[in-house]
Structure 1
Amino acid sequence: MTNKKIRVFLSRPNPFTENQNLFIKELIKFLRRHNIECVTLQAAEYTPYEVMNSLSEMIQRSYGIIIVAFGQTFISSGTRKMGAEDNPDFFASKETHLKNKWVTSVYCHIEGILALTYNLPMLSIPQESLTEEGILKKGEYSITSPEFSLETKENILMYLQSEGFQKSFHVWKNLLDDKYNFIKGGEINY
């Protein structure tokens, strides 16, 4: 492989705490050491049409995606599918209670689905106590690393060196390298 960095789309909610910001910075440093450059859509005033076009183009030009699923909305106590009726015509029709759960940004799901349409290797990195739904269901669409804690800076720094994260990362990185080498190997320079 060349020294050229492999472009990966980094999907993450906009940080709103210093520890979230630290996590992103440390992850990007870690990825750079592994020959990976990250692109992401910065928060700004865009119309939905502009956002989807920009996202689609950025993801299509990437070789993989990493979803850092920070919690955005906290549910101390709530109910999913309140009043659900037991009916075989309804899919997953069951009322469930939620307690002390985070919900991530809808953009993590949208960006993940776009990446799936381009068959990109996906690594999901969920915050602890995050609801597992959509693109973040473990093992269904991506390599999923263990949950991380944002409680302390030490937790963040230790997480990126942990055996669980390293194992998931290297499984995903092998898929990323295969994708990159397959595409780059087929290019002809004139």
Structure 2
Amino acid sequence: MEAEFGAAVEDGRPLLFALGCLIAAWREIGKQSEGRLIVANYALSLGLLIPMAALQFQQATGFLSAAEGQPFGVPGAGAGPNPYLIWSHNSAIPILLIIRLLLGTAHLCLAWMLVEGDWPRVVKCGTLIGAAMITLSLFTGVLMLDLSPLRAQFAELAIELGALVVFSRWHIRVLSDATPEPLTP
């Protein structure tokens, strides 16, 4: 391949040679089970995990913008904020902000670990995300805040964790089907 690249450089077409290699690699990646697994891992990371992290960070910035008044929804949509709960809501902002930032960071870490194929850490990070979401919902419920924004996130979390289980089984099957390479002394 280095000789072919050297010839392409002499002809003045190294970029065309690299593009041809890239196209050939994309054709071959779908023919192998490891290649399909890698593409699916990237698709899950880029299509679900990173947008979920962005959603968590976007909701965390909602706690920082005090110009809009109350940073989170109160159950009575037509009623104004309960004057007896304003102090507790304002006191909870740092904790809710930390949980949201933790969830966003954990989703980014989960995407990275999935692409790396580090399954023990994927399990630990998935457990952390689940615990943080449960904590967030309990804390939000105790503060008598609107839980409706969390419904979609729990549904997406269930899809996310279900996909991770499917991917881990797929990964195990691909590894068990792979023939071990002989060790050279």
Q: Is TM > 0.5 for Structure 1 vs Structure 2?
A: no
Which has a greater percent of strand?
1
Which has a greater percent of helix?
2
Task: Please say which structure displays the higher CA radius of gyration.
Answer: 2
TM-score (norm. length: structure 1): 0.26
